[in-house]
Amino acid sequence: MNILVIGGGGREHALVWKLKQGDGVQTVYCAPGNAGIAAEATCVSLSPTDLEGCLTFAKEKDINLTVVGPEAPLVAGIVDRFAAAGIPIIGPDQKAAQLEGSKAFTKRILEEAGVPTADFEIFDDPTEAFQALQGKSYPLVVKADGLAAGKGVLIVQDQGEAEDAIRTIMEEKAFGDAGNRVVLEEFLRGEEASFIVLTDGETILPLASSQDHKAIYDGDKGPNTGGMGAYSPAPVVDAAMHEKVMRTVIEPVIEAMNRRGTPYRGILYAGLMIADDTPYVLEFNVRMGDPETQPILFRMEGDLVETFVRLHEGQLHKAELAWNPNPAVCVVLASGGYPGSYEKGKVITGLESLEGRSDVKVFHAGTKQNERGEIVTNGGRVLGVTAADSSLAACREKVYKAIEAIHFEGMTYRKDIGLKGIQREKNV
């Protein structure tokens, strides 16, 4: 079996690593990949949003299964193109991918399905959005409607900041066409969790729970990022909460999409805020999360290739997944200045000292190999150091010990990944 993974970040490295372990896998390609992926798969110089190029490559290499990592090609309709060509691909079609492509669409689906979510208003006109700020409670969440590479959600503390946010999104077009529409949303307080499922439109197969850490600094301070670390499982999602999320969030949304005639098939990620024992939906992603994928797949014991094939065939009810009971923690090492401006090309040292370990894995995100053969930084989030052990506390100790071996100029990372989970375990 020949497999193509589309994307080049930490999530895609984890997918490549896990898919390679599947029975009958012959060759794994990745477009475009990164320096770490290049050590485990054949990297192809194709942009994930070059839909025609990816399709042509899949035909040339007789690809049997394509797995899409990032959201942009899914929202652009890559699944529709591959499906029309008869090439198996994992992900929702373009209509269903609106669950991530449009926050306004998602809010309306949640409302229709009766799923708990923050109160909201949607505006196409900035003047109307400005007027709606009168009398609002703060903090307030201001969201660009479309895809904004994880940067289109702004939490504002007063009306002045809210006006600036609307101006930035809708008038200055800081996020391009993603800012043609804006969503004003109530700020929810609670504990976040990531809940990811596979579905063929009928059967829903949940993956292990996880918790992401979006803010750049310890204590959830500072601007949001694509994610600075994650751990799995998330103690906040106990058995009772797991059942509640499935019953009150996932199942109603899948049913609502079916009623609309836009059935959802693929990977669905619910970003949740758990408050007063209620799971509220903050967002949907139409693919695996990053960095949640890293600790989740590090714990997965089943054959992911077989599971994806079952999903594509509409036979997900025949799939089975097993999980190592031990938790896993991933800590992201980022470039200095991220999520703002940062420099690339910084030489990374120490990676070789962690190779070959079964309990620690360094997943590459923003890396490449320079002309001297050195691995250098090539993005904001650079590496995801992931470790498994018998407890969250042991995972934390192991992962931060492993990080001590790695160095690049400007390297920054959070020191508190996993502490929320440990505290929750103590309070149980």
- pLDDT for the residue 392: 97
Question: Which CATH architecture fits 125-180?
Answer: 2-Layer Sandwich (3.30)
- Pick one of 1.10.150.120, 3.40.50.20, 3.40.30.10, 3.40.50.300 as the CATH number of 2-91: 3.40.50.20
User: Containing H/E element for 121?
Assistant: strand 120-123
- pLDDT for the residue 148: 85
Rounded Cα distance between 386 and 360, Å, is: 6
The single residue listed with the structure tokens 């690593």 is: 17
Among 1, 62, 56, which Cα is nearest to 26's?
1
**Cα dihedral sign, 28-29-31-34:** positive
Rounded Cα distance between 81 and 87, Å, is: 9
In the numeric block, which tokens belong to residue 202? 């009928």
- pLDDT for the residue 428: 61
Rounded Cα distance between 209 and 232, Å, is: 6
Give SS3 for 83: helix
- Pick one of 3.90.600.10, 3.40.50.1100, 1.10.1040.10, 3.20.20.140 as the CATH number of 328-427: 3.90.600.10
φ, ψ (nearest 5 deg) of residue 47: -75, 140
Q: Which amino acid is at 418?
A: G
Q: Give me the residue spans of the domains in the chain.
A: 2-91, 125-180, 190-318, 328-427
Cβ partners under 8 Å of residue 343, min gap 6 = 335, 336, 337, 377, 410
**CB 201, CB 314: distance < 8 Å:** yes
Rounded Cα distance between 215 and 221, Å, is: 6
In the numeric block, which tokens belong to residue 270? 């619910």
280-307 in b/e burial notation, b at 16+ Cβ within 10 A?
bbbbbbbbbbbbbbbbbbbbbeebbbbb
> Is this structure's pTM higher than 0.85?
yes
Radius of gyration in angstroms for the set of CA atoms belonging to the chain, rounded to a whole number:
21
Q: Which amino acid is at 285?
A: N
Residue 402 CA to chain centroid, in angstroms?
24
Residue 100 CA to chain centroid, in angstroms?
11
Three-state SS annotation for 279-315:
EEEEEEECCCCCCCHHHHHHHECCCHHHHHHHHHCCC
- Pick one of 3.40.50.1000, 3.20.20.70, 3.40.720.10, 3.30.470.20 as the CATH number of 190-318: 3.30.470.20
Cα-based distances in Å from 47 to 23, 32, 80, 97, 300 = 28, 6, 18, 19, 29
Pairing between strand 191-199 and 266-275? antiparallel
Q: Which amino acid is at 370?
A: N
φ, ψ (nearest 5 deg) of residue 28: -115, 125
Among 340, 346, 399, 336, which Cα is nearest to 368's?
346
Taking only the tens of pLDDT, the chain with its 428 residues reads 999 999 999 999 999 999 999 999 999 999 999 999 999 999 999 999 999 999 999 999 999 999 999 999 999 999 999 999 999 999 999 999 999 999 999 999 999 999 999 999 999 999 999 999 998 999 999 999 999 877 788 899 999 999 999 999 999 999 999 999 999 999 999 999 999 999 999 999 999 999 999 999 999 999 888 899 999 999 999 999 999 999 999 999 999 999 999 999 999 999 999 999 999 999 999 999 999 999 999 999 989 999 999 999 999 999 989 999 999 999 999 999 999 999 999 999 999 999 999 999 999 999 999 999 999 999 999 999 999 999 999 999 999 999 999 999 999 999 999 999 999 888 76
Max Cα distance, the chain (Å): 61
Rounded Cα distance between 56 and 62, Å, is: 10
